[in-house]
Amino acid sequence: MASPSWLSAGKLVLASNNKGKIAEFEHLFEHLNLAVQVIPQGQLNIEDAVEDGLSFVENAIIKARHAARISGLPAIADDSGLCVPILGGAPGIYSARYAGEHGNDTANNEKLLRDLVPYREANKPIGGMFVCVLALVEHADDPLPKIFQGIWQGEILDAPRGEQGFGYDPLFWLPTLGISSAEMSKAEKNKISHRGQAMQALAKHLA
Choice among 52, 78, 79, 142 that is catalytic: 79
Residue 5: how many other CB atoms lie within 10 Å: 11
Query: Rounded distance, CA 148 to CA 195, Å?
Result: 10
pLDDT of residue 20: 74
pLDDT of residue 207: 65
Ranges of H-type helices in 33-98: 56-71
Digit-coded pLDDT (tens) for 85-136: 999 999 999 999 999 988 899 999 999 999 999 999 988 999 999 999 999 9
Task: Answer for the pair 116, 88: CB distance below 8 angstroms, yes or no.
Answer: no
pLDDT number for residue 4: 42
In this predicted structure, the answer to whether residue 148 has a pLDDT above a threshold of 80 is: yes
- Give the pLDDT confidence score for residue 1 in this predicted structure: 44
Residue 22's pLDDT is 79
Burial of 89 (0-12, 13-18, 19+ CB in 10 A): middle
C-alpha distances (whole Å) from 43 to each of 16, 22, 71, 116, 159 are 10, 12, 11, 39, 36
- Tell me, what's the pLDDT at 2? 44
Question: Is the peptide bond preceding residue 91 cis, with omega within 30 degrees of 0?
Answer: yes
% of the chain exceeding 70 in pLDDT? 93
Q: Is there a contact between 175 and 186 (Cβ–Cβ < 8 Å)?
A: no
- Look at residue 68 in the predicted model and tell me its pLDDT: 96
All structural domains of the chain with their residue ranges: 4-206
- pLDDT for 47-73, tens place per residue? 989 999 999 999 999 999 999 999 999
Q: How confident is the model at residue 37 (pLDDT cuts 50, 70, 90)?
A: confident
Run of H or E residues at 116: helix 105-116
Q: Which helix (H) or strand (E) holds 199?
A: helix 194-206
Closest CA to 3 of 136, 135, 134, 132: 136
Give catalytic status of residue 158 as yes or no. no
The whole-number pLDDT of residue 111 equals 98
CATH architecture type of domain 4-206: Alpha-Beta Complex (3.90)
**Cα atoms in the Cβ-side hemisphere of radius 13 Å centred on 95:** 21
pLDDT at 34: 67
